[in-house]
Amino acid sequence: MSELLLDGQIALVTGASRGIGRACAIELAKNGAKIVINYTNNSEAAESCKVEIENLGSEAIIVQADVSIPSDAETLITTAEEHFGKIDILVNNAGINRDRTVQRMAVEEWQTVIETDLSSMFYCTNRVVTGMRERGYGRIINMSSIIGQMGNLGQSNYAAAKAGMIAFTKSAAKELARFGITVNAVCPGFIATDMVDALDENIKEQLIAQIPAGRFGTAEEVAATVRFLCTEGSFYTGAQMSLNGGQYM
């Protein structure tokens, strides 16, 4: 078999059971990486992602962990490092939304989104950089969003978390560049996954009307951006990779 660009590399993708995370895990595996699949609830989806990766001739393990809980994130990183010996690529992808206007939003809805979408990125990155620094190599990719760039009605919690990811990305990129570690944010527009499928049909039509490309993006298009950052993007760090069909420029 000819050599692949990510042969010998280990990638940990949080929230890899479904949607964008799953597509990233599969795309990185297609390029030779071995994968740590993280999920929190849907073990069946995680198992089917593992089977798909094994059918590609690569290797994967599944680690159930709620990355919004610091001790779970720590166990996730430790388990991955013990199994594969290292982590070269961390994709901080796990995320949820709990949409509500500012006035109606419950404190719990604010806190859950901040913990799951923003704090989880710190918990995982904080644990993974030690090994990356020792080896002088790492690729950290934070799944932000167009909403973190432009804001949105009813999404103040999600927008704050995703904008926070961008600011964290820039700071970590400055700290870690000298150790051979790049840190980038990917900012997708609306992508056809369970998260967007859950919206009312009339909201989806209104959203598509705002997208010059006239459609939602695909998880595979986002995964291609993540793969590019890992295989060819060595001079990208602190960047916001926007892919949104022209919805926000």
SS3 letters across 58-80? CCEEEEECCCCCHHHHHHHHHHH
Nearer to ligand NAP, 17 or 125 (CB): 17
Cα–Cα distances (Å) from 175 to 3, 168, 238, in that order, read 32, 11, 10
Rule CB under 6 A: choose which of 6, 25, 95, 233 binds ligand NAP.
95
Binding to ligand NAP, residues 32-61 (CB under 6 A): 38-42, 45
- Retrieve residue 204's tokens: 């989806």
**206 CA to centre of own chain:** 26
Whole-angstrom distance, CA of residue 184 vs CA of residue 40: 24
Whole-angstrom distance, CA of residue 200 vs CA of residue 208: 13
Nearer to ligand NAP, 145 or 169 (CB): 145
Contact between 182 and ligand NAP by CB under 6 A: the answer reads no
CB distance 91 to 141 below 8 Å: yes
First vs last C-alpha separation in the chain:
42
From the list 52-60, 88-96, 133-141, 170-178, the region that binds ligand NAP by CB under 6 A is: 88-96
Binding to ligand NAP, residues 190-249 (CB under 6 A): 190-191, 193-196
Contact between 105 and ligand NAP by CB under 6 A: the answer reads no
| DSSP structure class, residue 116 | I
Shortest separation between residue 14's beta carbon and ligand NAP, angstroms: 6
Shortest separation between residue 43's beta carbon and ligand NAP, angstroms: 7
Q: Is 123 a catalytic residue?
A: no
Nearer to ligand NAP, 59 or 66 (CB): 66
Q: Which of 39, 123, 137, 158 is catalytic?
A: 158
Contact between 127 and ligand NAP by CB under 6 A: the answer reads no
Shortest separation between residue 135's beta carbon and ligand NAP, angstroms: 25
**Binders of ligand NAP: how many residues, by CB under 6 A?**
31
Whole-angstrom distance, CA of residue 161 vs CA of residue 144: 8
Nearer to ligand NAP, 22 or 139 (CB): 22
The residue to which tokens 């602190």 are assigned: 238
- Which residues, in sequence order, are CB contacts of 106 under 8 Å at separation 6+? 100
Nearer to ligand NAP, 8 or 71 (CB): 71
- Residues involved in catalysis: 158
